[in-house]
C-alpha cells in the first residue's frame, strides 16, 4: 500500500474509533440527532466534493437529488408498500438516470453550464414537490414513511440510525477514495491539471465527468432516502435551492476536492443554525458574515489551511 | 372578455414582468462580463431598491422624484461596496470561490434587510394613480406603462454610456481583455467596481418599478433574481441585447403559459425554459453559437 493509502486508512481508522466511542459520551437523543444529520450531510458532501475536486464542476442541484432520493424512497415504501431497502435502491437508480440526462448535454460544454442547469433543476423539483400534492403531500409534506430494518430489527431509534448513517459515511469515503485512485480518478486529475494534455492522451473527459456527476448524485440520493426513513416525514422546504447552496458551502469551507474537507465542513456547518439560534434575530447575519470572511480569507478551506496549502491565484473557472 | 382581449391582457402583463427580468438580466451580464462571476446578490439589489425607496418615501417623507433616484444611488453604492469589500480583497481569483462570495453576501444582506425592515410585507405606491387604462381590449394600469417606458429609457441610457463615454468604453475594453486594457492605462479594478455599481443601480430600478405590482418584502428579489438569471441565459449569457430579448421573451412565455395553460406551475416555467436552452442551444437566442468544447 502506498504512503498516501496508509495515511487515508490511518485517518479512516481513527475516525471509526472516534465514532465507535462517541455514543458512550453522547447519550442525549438531541445531540445524537444532530450527529445523524451531520452524517447524512457528510455523505452528500463527499459525493459533491468528488464532482468539485475531480470534475472541476459545481452543482447547485444536490438538494434536489437528496430530495428525490427522499421522496421516491418514501413514497414507494409509504404509499405502495415497497420494502424500504428496495425503495432506496430504486430511488438511486432513478436519480442516476436523471443526473445522466442533465449531465450529458451540459458537461460537454466548457464553462459553468452545469451550475446553471442544476440550479434550474432544483427550482423545478421544488415546485413539483409542492404542486403534485396528491402524490407528495404538498407543502405540508409526506408522512408515514416506514423505517429501514436490519435483519428484521427496525432501525428506528436515534442510536441505531447513528450506526447506520455513520457506517454509510465510512463506506462512502472508501468508495470515493477508490474512485479517486481508479483510472477515472487519475484521468480527471490529469484533466484538472492540464485539460488539453489529458484530452490529447486519450482521456475520455466528457464520459468521466458525467460518470462522476452521476456518482455524486447517487450519494445524495442514498443520503436522502436514509433521511426519509429516519424521520418518517419529509417536507419540500428541506430540499430547496438554499439547501443546495448550504451543501456546496460545506465543501468550500471544509476544503474543495478534499475527501476529509467534506467531513470538516459538514461537521462545522450543520450545527451552526442550532448554535446561532441563541442569536436568533441575527442568525442570517452571522451565518452570511462568517461564510463571507472564510471565503475571502480562507478559500482553500479548513483542511487546505491545516495542510498549509497556499491559495492558488487564478485557477480554472469551474 | 373574448379570447383576443385575454391574449392582449397576457401580453401586457408578460411584457411588464419581462421588462423587469431584462433589467435584472442586464445586471447579471454587466458583472459577468467584467469578472466572469454570476452575481447571486443581483436579486437582493432588487429587494434593497424597493426597501430603500420605501424608507425614503414613507420613512423620510421625501417626494417620489427624490426618493426613487436616491434609492437607486444608494443601491449602486452597495454594489460598489460589495466589489470593494468582498470581491477585490478575496485571496482566491477562482470564479467558483467568487460566485460563492456573492452567495454569502446575499445571505448576509437578506439577514440585514430582515433585521432593518422586518419580515412583513410592505407596500410601495405606484408611480402614478391607479386609473385603469384600456387599449386593444386589454386593461392595464399606468404602472405597466411606466415599467416599459423607464426600462426603455434605461436601455437607451446604457447604450449611450457604453458607446459614447470614455468610462463606458473603458469598461467594455476591460470586459474584452482586462490585461490589455490595463496596459492602456485603464484601472481594471475601478471598472469592475463600476460594473457592480451599475448592476446595483439596475437591480434597484427593477425593484422600484416592480414592487408596487408584486409586493415588497426583504426577500422579494430572490425569485425575481433567479428568473432574471434564466432570462440572461435564454438571451445568451453576457450579451446585452440578449438580456433584453431574453427578459421580454421569458416574461411573455411565463404570462402566456400561466394564462392559457395553468398558473399552478408558473414559478417552474422560467426554469424549464432555462434547462431547455442549456440542452438545446446553450449559447442562448443571441449568444455565440457552438460554444467551446473542452
User: A229 and A142 in contact (C-beta within 8 Å)?
Assistant: no
* Burial class of residue A92, CB neighbours in 10 A (0-12, 13-18, 19+): buried
* Burial class of residue A96, CB neighbours in 10 A (0-12, 13-18, 19+): middle
What pLDDT digit, counting tens, does each position of A251-281 carry?
A: 888 887 788 888 989 998 888 877 777 777 7
For residue A185, what pLDDT is reported?
A: 83
Pairing of strands A153-154, B133-135: unpaired
Instruction: Quote the CA–CA distance of A122 and A63 in Å, as a whole number.
Output: 7
- Predicted ipTM of the assembly: 0.86
On whether residue B64 sits in a domain, the answer given is yes
Nearest-by-Cβ selection for B114 from A110, A249, A284? A284
Give the chain A residue whose CA is nearest to the CA of B268.
A124
DSSP summary character for residue B293: B
CB-CB neighbors (< 8 A) of A256 in chain B: 96
Averaged pLDDT for residues B247-276: 91
On whether residue B154 sits in a domain, the answer given is yes
Q: For position A110, which CATH number holds?
A: 1.10.3470
Measured at the alpha carbon of residue A69, what is the angle toward residues A259 and A145, in degrees to the nearest 5?
Answer: 125
Measured at the alpha carbon of residue B172, what is the angle toward residues B167 and B176, in degrees to the nearest 5?
Answer: 145
Contact A315 B92 (CB under 8 A): yes
On whether residue A311 sits in a domain, the answer given is no
Total of domains in chain B:
1
For residue A311, what pLDDT is reported?
A: 59
Measured at the alpha carbon of residue A30, what is the angle toward residues B104 and A171, in degrees to the nearest 5?
Answer: 75
Strands (E), A16-89: none
The rounded mean pLDDT for chain B is: 90
Give the chain B residue whose CA is nearest to the CA of A301.
B97
Instruction: Quote the CA–CA distance of A210 and A216 in Å, as a whole number.
Output: 10
Instruction: Quote the CA–CA distance of A45 and A49 in Å, as a whole number.
Output: 6
Radius of gyration of chain B from its Cα atoms, rounded to whole angstroms: 19
Averaged pLDDT for residues B265-280: 90
A212 touches chain B (CB under 8 A): no
CB-CB neighbors (< 8 A) of B104 in chain A: 249, 288, 291-292, 295
Which range has the worst mean pLDDT, A272-281, B202-211, B283-292?
Answer: B283-292
Smallest Cα–Cα separation from B232: which of B42, B10, B14?
A: B42
What pLDDT digit, counting tens, does each position of B52-107 carry?
A: 999 999 999 999 999 999 999 999 999 999 999 999 999 888 888 898 899 999 99
Averaged pLDDT for residues B188-213: 94
What is the block-wise mean pLDDT of chain A (318 residues), using blocks of 10 residues? 78 90 86 93 94 85 96 95 94 97 87 86 94 91 90 84 94 91 83 77 84 95 96 93 90 84 88 77 85 89 77 43
For residue A255, what pLDDT is reported?
A: 84
Quickly list DSSP for B203-231. HHHHHHHHTTTS-B-TTTHHHHHHHHHHH
Size of interface A-B (CB pairs under 8 A): 154
Total of domains in chain A:
1
User: A296 and A89 in contact (C-beta within 8 Å)?
Assistant: no
What pLDDT digit, counting tens, does each position of B235-244 carry?
A: 998 899 999 9
On whether residue A221 sits in a domain, the answer given is yes
Smallest Cα–Cα separation from B47: which of B226, B257, B248, B241?
A: B226
Instruction: Quote the CA–CA distance of B161 and B195 in Å, as a whole number.
Output: 12
Contact B105 A292 (CB under 8 A): yes
DSSP summary character for residue A311: P
Contact A121 B271 (CB under 8 A): yes
On whether residue B71 sits in a domain, the answer given is yes
Bridge partners of A154?
A149
Nearest-by-Cβ selection for A116 from B96, B110, B278? B278
Contact A312 B108 (CB under 8 A): no
User: B45 and B204 in contact (C-beta within 8 Å)?
Assistant: yes
Bridge partners of A150?
A153
On whether residue B147 sits in a domain, the answer given is yes
On whether residue A161 sits in a domain, the answer given is yes
For residue A261, what pLDDT is reported?
A: 86
Smallest Cα–Cα separation from B112: which of B64, B38, B52, B39?
A: B52
On whether residue B292 sits in a domain, the answer given is no
On whether residue B260 sits in a domain, the answer given is no
DSSP summary character for residue B236: -
Residue B122 φ/ψ, nearest 5 degrees: -110, 165
pLDDT band at B288 (very low <50, low <70, confident <90, very high): low
Range of the domain at A109: 3-306
For residue B97, what pLDDT is reported?
A: 86
On whether residue B283 sits in a domain, the answer given is no
On whether residue A314 sits in a domain, the answer given is no
**Cell of residue B118, nine digits:** 422586518
Measured at the alpha carbon of residue A250, what is the angle toward residues A248 and A253, in degrees to the nearest 5?
Answer: 110
For residue B118, what pLDDT is reported?
A: 92
Smallest Cα–Cα separation from A121: which of B276, B131, B102, B99?
A: B276
Instruction: Quote the CA–CA distance of B222 and B243 in Å, as a whole number.
Output: 18
A189 touches chain B (CB under 8 A): no
User: A206 and A108 in contact (C-beta within 8 Å)?
Assistant: yes
On whether residue B104 sits in a domain, the answer given is yes
Instruction: Quote the CA–CA distance of A285 and B262 in Å, as a whole number.
Output: 38
On whether residue A317 sits in a domain, the answer given is no
Range of the domain at B47: 18-221
For residue B139, what pLDDT is reported?
A: 79
Residue B276 has pLDDT above 50, yes or no: yes
Instruction: Quote the CA–CA distance of A65 and A63 in Å, as a whole number.
Output: 5
User: B259 and B10 in contact (C-beta within 8 Å)?
Assistant: yes
Smallest Cα–Cα separation from B154: which of B197, B118, B188, B205?
A: B205
pLDDT band at B293 (very low <50, low <70, confident <90, very high): very low
Amino acid at each position: 500500500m502506498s504512503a498516501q493509502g496508509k495515511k487515508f486508512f490511518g485517518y479512516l481508522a481513527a475516525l471509526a474509533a472516534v465514532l465507535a466511542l462517541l455514543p458512550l459520551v453522547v447519550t442525549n437523543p438531541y445531540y445524537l440527532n444532530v450527529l445523524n444529520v451531520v452524517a447524512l450531510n457528510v455523505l452528500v458532501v463527499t459525493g459533491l466534493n468528488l464532482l468539485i475536486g475531480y470534475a472541476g464542476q459545481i452543482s447547485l442541484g444536490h438538494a434536489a437529488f437528496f430530495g428525490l432520493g427522499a421522496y421516491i424512497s418514501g413514497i414507494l415504501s409509504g404509499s405502495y408498500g415497497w420494502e424500504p431497502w428496495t425503495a432506496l435502491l430504486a430511488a438511486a437508480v432513478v436519480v442516476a438516470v436523471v443526473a445522466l440526462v442533465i449531465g450529458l448535454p451540459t458537461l460537454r460544454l466548457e464553462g459553468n453550464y452545469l451550475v446553471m442547469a442544476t440550479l434550474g433543476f432544483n427550482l423545478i423539483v421544488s415546485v413539483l414537490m409542492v404542486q403534485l400534492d396528491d402524490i407528495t403531500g404538498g407543502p405540508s409534506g409526506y408522512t408515514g414513511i416506514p423505517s429501514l430494518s436490519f435483519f428484521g430489527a427496525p432501525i428506528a431509534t436515534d442510536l441505531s440510525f447513528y450506526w447506520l448513517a455513520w457506517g454509510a459515511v465510512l463506506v462512502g469515503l472508501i468508495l470515493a477514495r477508490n474512485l479517486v485512485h481508479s483510472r477515472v480518478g487519475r484521468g480527471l486529475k490529469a484533466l484538472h491539471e492540464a485539460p488539453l494534455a489529458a484530452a490529447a492522451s486519450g482521456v475520455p473527459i466528457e464520459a468521466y465527468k458525467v460518470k462522476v456527476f452521476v456518482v455524486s448524485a447517487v450519494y445524495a440520493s442514498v443520503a436522502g432516502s436514509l433521511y426519509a426513513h429516519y424521520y418518517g416525514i419529509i417536507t419540500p422546504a428541506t430540499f430547496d435551492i438554499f439547501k443546495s447552496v448550504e451543501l456546496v458551502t460545506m465543501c468550500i469551507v471544509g476544503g474543495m476536492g478534499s475527501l476529509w474537507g467534506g467531513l470538516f465542513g459538514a461537521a462545522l456547518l450543520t450545527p451552526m443554525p442550532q448554535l446561532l439560534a441563541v442569536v436568533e434575530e441575527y442568525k442570517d447575519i452571522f451565518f452570511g458574515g462568517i461564510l463571507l470572511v472564510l471565503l475571502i480569507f480562507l478559500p482553500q478551506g479548513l483542511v487546505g489551511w491545516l495542510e498549509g496549502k497556499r491559495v492558488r491565484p487564478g485557477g480554472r473557472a469551474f | 372578455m373574448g379570447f383576443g382581449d385575454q391574449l392582449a391582457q397576457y401580453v401586457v402583463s408578460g411584457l411588464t414582468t419581462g421588462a423587469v427580468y431584462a433589467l435584472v438580466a442586464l445586471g447579471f451580464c454587466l458583472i459577468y462580463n467584467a469578472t466572469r462571476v454570476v452575481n447571486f446578490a443581483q436579486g437582493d439589489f432588487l429587494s434593497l431598491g424597493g426597501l430603500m425607496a420605501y424608507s425614503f418615501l414613507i420613512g423620510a417623507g421625501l417626494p417620489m422624484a427624490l426618493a426613487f433616484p436616491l434609492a437607486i444611488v444608494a443601491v449602486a453604492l452597495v454594489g460598489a461596496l460589495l466589489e470593494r469589500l468582498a470581491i477585490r480583497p478575496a485571496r482566491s481569483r477562482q470564479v467558483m470561490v467568487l460566485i460563492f462570495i456573492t452567495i454569502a453576501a446575499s445571505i448576509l444582506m437578506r439577514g440585514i434587510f430582515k433585521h432593518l425592515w422586518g419580515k412583513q410585507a410592505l407596500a410601495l405606491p405606484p408611480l402614478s394613480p391607479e386609473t385603469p387604462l384600456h387599449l386593444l381590449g386589454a386593461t392595464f394600469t399606468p404602472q405597466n406603462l411606466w415599467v416599459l417606458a423607464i426600462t426603455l429609457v434605461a436601455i437607451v441610457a446604457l447604450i449611450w454610456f457604453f458607446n459614447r463615454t470614455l468610462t463606458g468604453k473603458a469598461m467594455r475594453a476591460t470586459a474584452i481583455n482586462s490585461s490589455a486594457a490595463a496596459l492602456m492605462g485603464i484601472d481594471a479594478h475601478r471598472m469592475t467596481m463600476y460594473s457592480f455599481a451599475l448592476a446595483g443601480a439596475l437591480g434597484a430600478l427593477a425593484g422600484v418599478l416592480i414592487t408596487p405590482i408584486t409586493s415588497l418584502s426583504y426577500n422579494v428579489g430572490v425569485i425575481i433574481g433567479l428568473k432574471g438569471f434564466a432570462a440572461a441565459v435564454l438571451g445568451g449569457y453576457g450579451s446585452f441585447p440578449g438580456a433584453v430579448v431574453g427578459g421580454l421573451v421569458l416574461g411573455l412565455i411565463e404570462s402566456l403559459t400561466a394564462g392559457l395553460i395553468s398558473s399552478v406551475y408558473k414559478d417552474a416555467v422560467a426554469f424549464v425554459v432555462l434547462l431547455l436552452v442549456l440542452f438545446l442551444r446553450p449559447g442562448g437566442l443571441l449568444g455565440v453559437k457552438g460554444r467551446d468544447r473542452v
